[in-house]
Structure 1
Amino acid sequence: MLWKIIDFSHQPKHVFSSIFNTFTRQFTLPSFPPNPSKFKTLISNGQLKQALLEMVNQGREMKFEGYDTILNECVKQRAIREGQRVHAHMITTHYLPPVYLRTRLIVFYAKCECLGDARQVLDEMPEKNVVSWTAMISAYSQRGYASEALSLFVKMLRSGTMPNGFTFATVLTSCTGALGFNHGRQIHSLIIKGIFESNIYVGSSLLDMYAKSGKIHEARGVFESLPERDVVSCTAIISGYAQLGLDEEALELFRRLQREGMASNFVTYASVLTALSGLAAIDHGKQVHSHVLRSELPSYVVLENSLIDMYSKCGNLTYSRRIFDNMSERTVISWNAMLAGYGKHGMGPAVVDLFKFMREENNVKPDRITFLAVLSGCSHGGMEDRGLEVFDEMVSGKEGVEPEIEHYGCVVDLLGRAGQVEKAFEFIKSMPFEPTAAIWGPLLGACRVHQNVDIGEHVANRLLEIEPENAGNYVILSNLYASAGRWEDVRSLRELMSEKAVTKEPGRSWIELNQTLHTFHASDRSHPRKEEVFAKVRELLVKIKEAGYVPDLSCVLHDVDEEQKEKILLGHSEKLALAFGLIGTPEGKPVLVMKNLRICVDCHNFAKFVSKVYSREVSLRDKNRFHHIAGGICSCGDYW
């Protein structure tokens, strides 16, 4: 039979000529009266192969309707061999398909991941219309071939074919990377000239392009100028804010659009949950979760993964695990989200147990992110031996995932946290990669914690060469110098930062009370209840000093007397937020404080004593992890 005699499945691309010669030699094509309705009947009965045989029987009598019916079914089923036979039949019978059918061939080959064949069809078309060009541009864009999509778009313009709204919406998705913004702006100017700016699909793609380029103000401008908005455009702008870490803006816009009657889909909710994860706004997160349940949305795995991530970053691993356990389908992202959640909370044994469970399930294979989560979990959980075992298994090839530079960075972090600074330094020297800032950074932090000035100085100098604009490296080295009493070096570093116009990201802490976020900066005097907050901090200091608290003055980077250092410590943003939390919550209720940077040693000790003296559970989430403190004991084991 035809489909057994000619097998295209193992043929290289662009070999149509030899295949067509074989086709011609094997068959003499008889002439039968055409019967277009027969094709529809066969296709509707699921008899594609019989329809192909009928195509052979009709030979040169095949008409547009028959080809169209069969080719559409091949597109629908992604039936590569059958579709190739349709194309071969057109050529061997010298049928000249109209633009529409040639465009369907482009769509067919693109659907079957044969982009070379799709492009060959386009290039050989005697005439092309905007749909033909757009079909090929879309094929490139959807598969990540941005440069090819943009080049073809330029070729289309030079041919004199004017783009339509779908062309613009499609090509804008390829405006990514370093040059993406410039390309996108040029296309935006064409959109304005073509009066397509008010097109909702074009507008959504425009604002998405600007947001992904980090130009959120331009994205917001496009959004506000849209004459009408749909769920796609609303979701795109919310997602843009969330992806850039502008969590409060994303949440505020979501609230506004909700009031205006915006319909939300699972992508909208997933974007909002990303923002709430950054804010650790658990009450808002529960509200969004309730919205999802009331909306009776299907159990989209993307949305469930976002809920797992949100609850874990808000400090509620019980809810995260409940959602994880009840999922009807888990992807590798689901496992990774749960593993990362346990790791951020310092629950090393839970990470190892869940990883073992994942491998026993055997229906989802761990990927590179899985191993990053496991290694990081072992690092934060003080399980350096198990972490090194996992890494050695990766190196040996047992795990099927070859370690990349990020995995080596996790090992450096693991050894550094364990106090094995020299071993971590030697490990870096033996790496098969050139060390990057992501490798040296964790080691510098470990040198600060474990007071290794010699290695710390060497590492810091390397970091200042690699990324001279990163203020964090200057700050950590200043900490290291300050702890060693090397104040002249601290001053020199500050002068260097000033010369290079490097500014440190200001520390800020925030706390959610009654669904309102209250943000504090160091020695903040802007909060409406500032006097009450500072009075509470002083009250806390008196009581916890009676219980044995001694301020860690090494956390102050200024060469001033001890009294002044203690005053500076009292103004740290996390202390202010904690004091406000104690004022604003009932006795016995846990207090959750978030910080954008790593919590300092003194604030960690301060919170431990407050927890013990006031019989309160305190949770502190900093840039790296969670600290759950109860009865004066932290879940990190003072190991972070």
Structure 2
Amino acid sequence: MAKQGLEVKFKFYDELLTQCVSQRALREGQWVHAHMIKTHYEPPVYLRTRLIVLYVKCECLSDARYVFDEMPERNVVSWTAMISGYARMGHSSEALNLFVQMIRSGAEPNEFTFATVLTCCTGAFGFCLGWQIHSLLVKHPFESHVFVGSSLLDMYAKAGRIQEARDIFEALPEKDVVSCTAIISGYAQQGLDEKALELFRRLRMEGMNFNYVTYVGILTALSGLAALEHGRQVHSHVLRLKLPFYVVLQNSLIDMYSKCGNLAYSRRIFDNMSERTIISWNAMLVGYSRHGLGKEVVELFELLKAEITTRPNSVTLLAVLSGCSHGGMEHRGLKIFDEMLNEEDGVELGIEHYACVVDLLGRSGQVERALQFINQMPFKPNAAIWGSLLGACRFHQNTNVGKIAGNSLLDIEPENAGNYVVLANLYASAGKWEELRRVRELMKEKAVVKVPGKSWIEVEQTLHTFHASDNSHPRKEEIFQKVRELSARIKGAGYVPDMGCVLHDVDEEQKEKMLLGHSEKLALAFGLIAEPQGKPIRVIKNLRICVDCHNFAKFVSQVYKREVSLRDKARFHRIVGGKCSCGDYW
């Protein structure tokens, strides 16, 4: 009879807890738990585990841990439920510590335990533990399980070990949307955008179905490539599949179209959103900022300030200040900065906001005032601030302040090749060859290697990549001939090569030949050959576009009546009729 009574109680509590778990009914679940205690009922492992699951689902980790600690015996589901609770709430160290206790207790983890604990292995310390867990996995039959494999490759991808992640992915006997999304997102996060696109296309041809998270990952990659046609295709896939338009997906579309130079599409998506987060506003503000549309930045910022539910954050202010700087609105930018500085409950200003003020002053030619502002800042100037000032000195030909900025920059980042290049550009444009030689000797002494510049252009959904004086393209002869033709024709319209962009003390003829081999010019020439008349030419570069290539593109746009879009690592240059959106200073 006693046994039968226990079975009735078990069934009674089981049914109640099942309902509570499915409906996340915390209060009712607590009543059930209290009833167990009052009636001195000793629930078996299964019911205690159900209580843990209920408390975890209702985000009451302290209650879940109380039940867990009171358990006279535990099984793998109990351990996994508690570890999962910590993992879901972002308490990675607690989850990892509990996993270690589980191993020491002699309990055997299952595939769900491993998949859960691997999600906590982020950061340098976390990856070290994750690597040890991977070693442990070799002794279990779960390494090739799709759940475990997905978590494992995601861990390696987030640690920047993308090749190990790819090896795990390819070794999986079956691949699901989670594992595919993890590896595609991993490539995108590491800036390996072409790899992400290549894999996405392969998996799609193999019949893999993707979810909205996958599309967020591939849109990130397409943003990096500025591959507009591919981006439009992905947008069409999302619409055809009738995927739910979650805010994160809409934000990714805004970012993708913006980085591909199509702000009209970005704004259309933004305006049609039923719900916006601060990330949505920031994505649109950053888009306008990078295109140098300061007026639009300020107007959108005013709309945001009128919102009741959304407040600007530090990223918002950064985008607004940057937009004012790139849009030639230094007075408005300085006014906004002062307002935020004096606002009691406003955005907390960081060094990056002060860097924007230096940029605002520098772009307007006030380099001495910018230097004075740096010396009065409440922060110690960093590389970004000195780099901004050095760039301004390069543009405004102020070698005295430029030397101070350059030397400060080299003290902070002696291994950054870009700093040496900008300083060398400053000396070269001023004809100070002795100082230029000193910079070169410093580079050799520090064994600094300049990142090779490359440009690419998308034609008929194929990316064509060019390096300086590139001889690898199958149509190289035609491309070089086109560059020479462009140069000859635009000279008649007033184009004069900027020899200051050549960091070598050679004769003028050799300098001009070197300038014609720049990757931006090769990509632009190929675009004119391959793209039909009337279609904009869109060129992307991994580094900053040089002054000469910018002028070259402006004259090509004017003479050939073509719209040219140049995107470098910092911003966009939309050139129509020989006039650039950047106002000739970036």
Into which bin does the TM-score normalised by the smaller protein fall? over 0.9
Work out the CA distance in 2 between the residues paired with 1:86 and 1:376: 57
**1:537/1:575 contact within 8 Å kept:** yes
Instruction: Using the TM superposition, give the Cα deviation of residue 80 of structure 1 relative to its aligned residue in structure 2, in angstroms.
Output: 4.9
Instruction: Using the TM superposition, give the Cα deviation of residue 605 of structure 1 relative to its aligned residue in structure 2, in angstroms.
Output: 0.7
Work out the CA distance in 2 between the residues paired with 1:494 and 1:62: 85
1:27 paired residue number: none
Q: Which amino acid aligns with 1:187?
A: I
Report matched runs for 1:82-93 at 5 Å.
82-93=28-39
**1:206/1:219 contact within 8 Å kept:** yes
Note the residue ranges of structure 1 that are not aligned, 5 or more in a row: 1-35, 37-59
The partner residue of 2:171 within 220, 225, 237 is 225
Report matched runs for 1:46-445 at 5 Å.
63-76=9-22, 78=24, 80-397=26-343, 400-445=346-391
Q: Which amino acid aligns with 1:516?
A: T
Q: Per the alignment, in what secondary structure is the counterpart of residue 179 of structure 1?
A: helix
Work out the CA distance in 2 between the residues paired with 1:277 and 1:460: 32
Instruction: Using the TM superposition, give the Cα deviation of residue 396 of structure 1 relative to its aligned residue in structure 2, in angstroms.
Output: 2.4
Please say which structure displays the higher CA radius of gyration.
1
TM-score (norm 1): 0.86
Work out the CA distance in 2 between the residues paired with 1:282 and 1:95: 65
* Structure 2 residue 506 is the aligned partner of structure 1 residue 560: yes
* Structure 2 residue 580 is the aligned partner of structure 1 residue 634: yes
* Structure 2 residue 462 is the aligned partner of structure 1 residue 516: yes
Pair 1:453–1:99, CA change in 2 (3 A): farther
Work out the CA distance in 1 between the residues paired with 2:400 and 2:54: 63
Instruction: Using the TM superposition, give the Cα deviation of residue 89 of structure 1 relative to its aligned residue in structure 2, in angstroms.
Output: 4.1
Work out the CA distance in 1 between the residues paired with 2:205 and 2:243: 20
1:527 paired residue number: 473
Work out the CA distance in 1 between the residues paired with 2:374 and 2:20: 54
Work out the CA distance in 1 between the residues paired with 2:145 and 2:529: 51
Report matched runs for 1:29-44 at 5 Å.
none
Q: Percent of counterpart pairs with the same letter?
A: 73
Work out the CA distance in 2 between the residues paired with 1:88 and 1:620: 67
- The two structures, once aligned, show a CA RMSD in angstroms of 2.2
What do residues 303-336 of structure 1 show as CA deviations (whole Å, max 9, x unaligned)?
Answer: 2111111111111111111111122222222111
Instruction: Using the TM superposition, give the Cα deviation of residue 135 of structure 1 relative to its aligned residue in structure 2, in angstroms.
Output: 1.9
What do residues 151-186 of structure 1 show as CA deviations (whole Å, max 9, x unaligned)?
Answer: 221121111111111111111111111233322221
**1:393/1:399 contact within 8 Å kept:** no
TM-score (norm 2): 0.94
Instruction: Using the TM superposition, give the Cα deviation of residue 290 of structure 1 relative to its aligned residue in structure 2, in angstroms.
Output: 1.3
Pair 1:97–1:492, CA change in 2 (3 A): farther
Work out the CA distance in 2 between the residues paired with 1:238 and 1:73: 38
2:483 paired residue number: 537
Q: Per the alignment, in what secondary structure is the counterpart of residue 540 of structure 2?
A: strand
Q: Per the alignment, in what secondary structure is the counterpart of residue 178 of structure 1?
A: helix
1:7 paired residue number: none
Q: Per the alignment, in what secondary structure is the counterpart of residue 198 of structure 2?
A: helix
Pair 1:492–1:65, CA change in 2 (3 A): farther
The partner residue of 1:459 within 386, 391, 405 is 405
Q: Per the alignment, in what secondary structure is the counterpart of residue 124 of structure 2?
A: coil
Work out the CA distance in 2 between the residues paired with 1:79 and 1:397: 44
Work out the CA distance in 1 between the residues paired with 2:385 and 2:366: 15
Which range is displaced more, 431-440 or 601-610? Answer: 431-440
Pair 1:149–1:447, CA change in 2 (3 A): farther
Q: Which amino acid aligns with 1:544?
A: I
The partner residue of 1:585 within 531, 538, 541 is 531
Pair 1:181–1:464, CA change in 2 (3 A): farther
Which range is displaced more, 96-105 or 294-303? Answer: 96-105
Which range is displaced more, 534-543 or 445-454? Answer: 445-454
The partner residue of 2:430 within 454, 468, 484 is 484
Work out the CA distance in 1 between the residues paired with 2:270 and 2:221: 20
Work out the CA distance in 2 between the residues paired with 1:165 and 1:639: 56
Instruction: Using the TM superposition, give the Cα deviation of residue 487 of structure 1 relative to its aligned residue in structure 2, in angstroms.
Output: 2.5
Work out the CA distance in 2 between the residues paired with 1:67 and 1:396: 60
Q: Per the alignment, in what secondary structure is the counterpart of residue 236 of structure 2?
A: helix
**1:510/1:520 contact within 8 Å kept:** yes
Work out the CA distance in 2 between the residues paired with 1:72 and 1:405: 52
Pair 1:143–1:453, CA change in 2 (3 A): farther
**1:106/1:118 contact within 8 Å kept:** yes
Pair 1:370–1:101, CA change in 2 (3 A): farther
Instruction: Using the TM superposition, give the Cα deviation of residue 132 of structure 1 relative to its aligned residue in structure 2, in angstroms.
Output: 1.9
Q: Which amino acid aligns with 2:118?
A: L
1:607 paired residue number: 553
Instruction: Using the TM superposition, give the Cα deviation of residue 494 of structure 1 relative to its aligned residue in structure 2, in angstroms.
Output: 2.6
Instruction: Using the TM superposition, give the Cα deviation of residue 525 of structure 1 relative to its aligned residue in structure 2, in angstroms.
Output: 1.1
1:474 paired residue number: 420
Which range is displaced more, 388-397 or 342-351? Answer: 388-397
Q: Per the alignment, in what secondary structure is the counterpart of residue 379 of structure 2?
A: coil
Work out the CA distance in 1 between the residues paired with 2:15 and 2:389: 64
The partner residue of 1:499 within 433, 441, 445 is 445
Q: Which amino acid aligns with 2:522?
A: L
Instruction: Using the TM superposition, give the Cα deviation of residue 465 of structure 1 relative to its aligned residue in structure 2, in angstroms.
Output: 3.2
Which range is displaced more, 80-89 or 432-441? Answer: 80-89
Work out the CA distance in 1 between the residues paired with 2:444 and 2:89: 45
What do residues 102-156 of structure 1 show as CA deviations (whole Å, max 9, x unaligned)?
Answer: 3333333334444344334323322222222222222222232222222221121
Work out the CA distance in 1 between the residues paired with 2:351 and 2:55: 37
Instruction: Using the TM superposition, give the Cα deviation of residue 206 of structure 1 relative to its aligned residue in structure 2, in angstroms.
Output: 0.9
Work out the CA distance in 2 between the residues paired with 1:309 and 1:406: 21
Which range is displaced more, 536-545 or 475-484? Answer: 475-484
Q: Which amino acid aligns with 2:108?
A: M
Instruction: Using the TM superposition, give the Cα deviation of residue 81 of structure 1 relative to its aligned residue in structure 2, in angstroms.
Output: 5.0
Q: Per the alignment, in what secondary structure is the counterpart of residue 138 of structure 2?
A: helix
Q: Per the alignment, in what secondary structure is the counterpart of residue 620 of structure 1?
A: strand
Pair 1:484–1:161, CA change in 2 (3 A): same
**1:180/1:213 contact within 8 Å kept:** no
What do residues 348-385 of structure 1 show as CA deviations (whole Å, max 9, x unaligned)?
Answer: 11111111122223232222222222222112111122
Q: Which amino acid aligns with 1:636?
A: C
1:450 paired residue number: 396
Instruction: Using the TM superposition, give the Cα deviation of residue 511 of structure 1 relative to its aligned residue in structure 2, in angstroms.
Output: 0.7
**1:509/1:596 contact within 8 Å kept:** yes
Q: Per the alignment, in what secondary structure is the counterpart of residue 193 of structure 1?
A: coil
Pair 1:459–1:78, CA change in 2 (3 A): farther
Instruction: Using the TM superposition, give the Cα deviation of residue 68 of structure 1 relative to its aligned residue in structure 2, in angstroms.
Output: 4.0
Note the residue ranges of structure 2 that are not aligned, 5 or more in a row: none
Work out the CA distance in 2 between the residues paired with 1:110 and 1:258: 37
What do residues 484-506 of structure 1 show as CA deviations (whole Å, max 9, x unaligned)?
Answer: 33323333333332333321111
